[in-house]
């Protein structure tokens, strides 16, 4: 099983959008306040990182999505990342191939051939 979830600025933007369109009037003001605060903090952190030349941290803020295999396989050093879910999954598959770990239908077919 592979978990794909938003991180960084994208996660905050999605939370802000959900707070904006929520149907529950009792939660809306609190959710909007929290989402606005998180967005302001994220943007301030990004500007601070840019001013100080922390480009790696700035890049991590803009990852978008992370894809991680639920039982982490031995030999895998990185998870997949990308601005879209599909790109994050493709990145994870590339890291799995580089680590020599087979994943997906082809690997399952090979395992089934070995049992027969």
Residue 55, Cβ density class (10 Å: 0-12 exposed, 13-18 middle, ≥19 buried):
exposed
| Residue range of the domain that includes 69 | 2-115
End-to-end CA distance of the chain: 25
Average pLDDT over residues 7-34: 83
Per-residue model confidence (pLDDT) at position 53: 95
All residues at 6 or more sequence positions from 95 whose CB lies less than 8 Å from its CB, including other chains: 76, 77, 78, 79, 80
Per-residue model confidence (pLDDT) at position 17: 86
Which region among 13-22, 52-61, 99-108 has the lowest average model confidence (pLDDT)?
99-108
Q: Name the pTM for this structure.
A: 0.66
Tens-digit pLDDT profile for residues 49-91: 999 999 998 888 888 899 998 888 888 888 898 889 999 999 9
């Amino acid at each position: 099983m592979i978990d794909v979830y938003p991180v960084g600025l994208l996660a905050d933007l999605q939370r802000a959008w959900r707070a904006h369109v929520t149907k529950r009037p009792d939660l809306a003001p609190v959710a909007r306040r929290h989402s606005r605060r998180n967005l302001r903090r994220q943007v301030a952190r990004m500007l601070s990182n840019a001013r100080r030349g922390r480009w790696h941290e700035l890049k991590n803020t803009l990852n978008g999505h992370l894809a991680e295999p639920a039982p982490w396989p031995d030999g895998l050093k990185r998870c997949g990342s990308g601005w879209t879910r599909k790109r994050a999954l493709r990145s994870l598959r590339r890291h799995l191939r580089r680590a020599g770990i087979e994943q997906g239908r082809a690997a399952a077919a090979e395992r089934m051939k070995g049992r027969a």
